[in-house]
Amino acid sequence: MPEMKTYAFGPAQDEKPRKIVLMLHGYGSNGQDLIGLAPYLARELPGVLFLSPDAPQPFEGGPGFGYQWFSLRSFDTDYMLEGARGAAPVLNAYIDALLAQTGLAESDLALLGFSQGTMMSLYAGPRRPHPVAGILGYSGALLAAEEMADPALHRIPVCLIHGEADDVVPVSMYHDARRALEQARYPVEGMTIPGLPHSIDEGGIAYGAAFLQKILSA
């Protein structure tokens, strides 16, 4: 697999996983941070391997602060989209290698993102050669919304969860993403959580676990 340090939780190394949840962390964070969700999600997902890689780029805020999928020096939509397009081949190569290594199909893999990781999941997931099981996105945004109606993209299930008090990625981004996905006929569901800032709470974990259970048992 491409050289991205990866944290894992799930079946023993000599036990073949039944399914995979690939977790993509947010801007300036790391894989170790997001893998902390795995023990809670795994209660509803026995036999599932959770993997959380460090993003490929060092965080532009300075050394020792984590990693990023792409630069966020500007929040201009076109700038972020260019960044996601540039990072997508690295993510796709990682997924290709992971599936080859485990012998699983794309339909056995779900993407879980937080913040910038959600942006990457929503960009790369529908554009994979074959449909992945679905996308669970926390506190993120949809880039290239106008492209989602492209018939070449896979209409995979999407679940979006967002805090209503998010002051990093405003909750309006949730509503914009959900509207665009619904108009493009994606199976989409989700929830907003009153009072929650840019974070994930127990209610969001439980809702997300139920979604993952549904798409990975289909």
Spatial neighbors of 91 by CB under 8 A, at least 6 apart, are: 24, 69, 120, 124
* 198 is an active site residue: yes
Residues shown for the chain: 218
Q: Given 3-state DSSP classes, what are the helix, strand and coil percentages for the chain, each rounded to the nearest 5?
A: 40, 20, 40
Paired residues of 158 in beta bridges: 135, 188
* 137/128 Cα distance (integer angstroms): 17
- 189 three-class SS: strand
Render 42-65 in DSSP notation, one character per residue. HTT-TTEEEEEEPPSEE-TT-TTS
Which is the catalytic residue, given 71, 198, 199, 201?
198
Active-site option among 115, 121, 139, 162: 115
166 noted as active-site residue: yes
Catalytic residues: 115, 166, 198
